[in-house]
Amino acid sequence: MSKYAWYTRVTDAVHRLTVLTIVGGSMYMAGGLVYTLYKNGSKYEKQVTQQKDESSELSQLEGAASSAE
């Protein structure tokens, strides 16, 4: 097995580090995006259910007030 020239080994190492940096950074960003979407989704779901509960309570109170008159 012949040895490669020093500049070929350096270029190979730089290329490997570049690829690992791009892949690692992409995975990190994708993970952050998934986490943010999950947190915002659960927050939005809680907000919607809370609004539905408040509107149903309000309609029940209005119905009770109009039937009492």
Residues 11-69 have pLDDT tens digits of 999 999 999 999 999 999 999 999 999 999 988 888 888 888 777 776 776 665 555 55
Distance in angstroms (rounded) separating the CA atoms of residues 41 and 33: 12
Distance in angstroms (rounded) separating the CA atoms of residues 59 and 57: 5
- What is the rounded end-to-end Cα distance, in angstroms, of the chain? 99
**CA-CA-CA-CA torsion for 41, 42, 47, 49, nearest 10 degrees?**
110
Which residue shows structure tokens 């309570």? 57
Two tokens at 11?
């270029």
Q: pTM for the complete prediction?
A: 0.59
